[in-house]
Amino acid sequence: MGRALTKQELHNLAMNIVGKELEKRGFEFIAINSQLGRHPQFVCIDKNKQRFFVIVKAVSYPENPNNYDVIWMESFKKHATEHNAKIFYAGVGLQNASDPTLPVYLNEDYGLEYNGIQVIETHLN
């Protein structure tokens, strides 16, 4: 059995998954912040030069990767609006492939629950 991935390593793995999807969609990266707890993780633009703030959240089994802190998101919406940016949220669930109650280990298979990038409306509630 290998070494369990740290929270930062799980976060980096999730960022790689999301970053590849953004690349496939043709986004251009302006800034990348992989530090755990700093938001947004990606600042990118589309072909029309629209700015996007991308929030990546890595969670472990049994957490639901599609859930985010709604109250915190309201303050982030204000930040995005001030920067004329739209918000994407990408929740990435990672679990040990052989036993979901165990952590994800370095260089071992893992299960993935990822529903893609979700658009977060920036109007304030």
CATH 3.40.50.10140 fits 7-120, yes or no: no
- Residues 56-84 have pLDDT tens digits of 999 998 999 999 999 999 999 999 999 99
pLDDT confidence of residue 124 = 64
pLDDT in tens, 6-23: 999 999 999 999 999 999
**Residues 25-61, buried b or exposed e (16+ Cβ, 10 A)?**
eebeeeeeeeeeeebbbbbbeeeeeeebbbbbbbbbb
CA 36 to chain centre: 11
Please give the pLDDT value at position 125: 55
